[in-house]
Amino acid sequence: MFRLTIGVRGKDGPSVSDGHTGQGTFYLSEQYGFRMDISGDGTVVSWYVPPEADTITMVVPAEKKWSKTPLPPEQRGKMPGQYEDPAEYIERFLARPSKELGRSVIDGIEVEGIEVTDPPAEKGKLANGIGRLWVDVQTQLPVRIEIEGTAGDMAVRWLMEFKWSEAVPASVFEPNIPSDYTPLAQ
């Protein structure tokens, strides 16, 4: 499981009223499939892909709507939409020249960090981009990725937090579609 938080605000600082934050929670399981919950501006949308990865179910609770569509062949085995598989992203991140940040503690876990300039970014390059990757010293698994930079006239901050030992019940991967929900127009 990992959580991705993206914050965007005007360069003038956090007091600017044009700031936006979105958050995604991603669950990945070889046995049960994939689930992604994306929230922003008061709305949550959930996507479910079963292990055979041939369909995608979308549920929009605020609208009491849902859809189930075939997953295009080029999307099978990949995360839906604009999101990149974390393993592929970390590989691109590690390919950058880096400097060691030493050890720290995040959520009670002893970590070691590296910092890169020009971290990989979705949909283009961040100006003045700095990325930090923190890895559990015992398991060598990523704990946190932090990225900051600017895109156009907006300050951007990404925070990706990984939870490796959390047990996720199989029911999390089953779409919950109440009987009063209606299909989205195709």
In sequence order, which ranges of the chain are alpha helices (DSSP H)?
86-94
* Arch. (CATH architecture) of 2-183: Clam (2.50)
Residue 43 pLDDT level (bands cut at 50, 70, 90): confident
pLDDT of residue 174: 92
Highest mean pLDDT among 40-44, 136-140, 158-162: 136-140
Q: How far is it, in rounded angstroms, from Cα 121 to Cα 129?
A: 9
pLDDT in tens, 113-150: 999 998 877 656 778 889 999 999 999 999 999 989 88
Alpha helices in 41-161 (DSSP H): 86-94
Structure token digits, residue 151? 């895109």
Angle at 143 between CA 140 and CA 146, to 5 degrees: 125
One-letter amino acid at 149 equals G
Query: Could you tell me which residues are beta bridge partners of residue 117?
Result: 130
Nearest partner of 121 among 156, 97, 81, 161, judged by Cα: 156
- Looking at every residue in the chain, the average pLDDT score rounds to 83
Q: What percent of the chain stands above pLDDT 90?
A: 34
Q: How confident is the model at residue 179 (pLDDT cuts 50, 70, 90)?
A: very high
Distances (CA, A) of 184 to 57, 67, 68, 71: 11, 6, 9, 16
pTM of the model: 0.75
Q: Over 90: is that where the pLDDT of 85 sits?
A: no
**Domain locations in the chain as residue ranges:** 2-183
Helix or strand run (H / E) with residue 49: strand 43-49
Instruction: Return the pLDDT at 185.
Output: 74
Q: Which tens digits make up the pLDDT trace of 96-119? A: 999 999 999 999 999 999 999 988
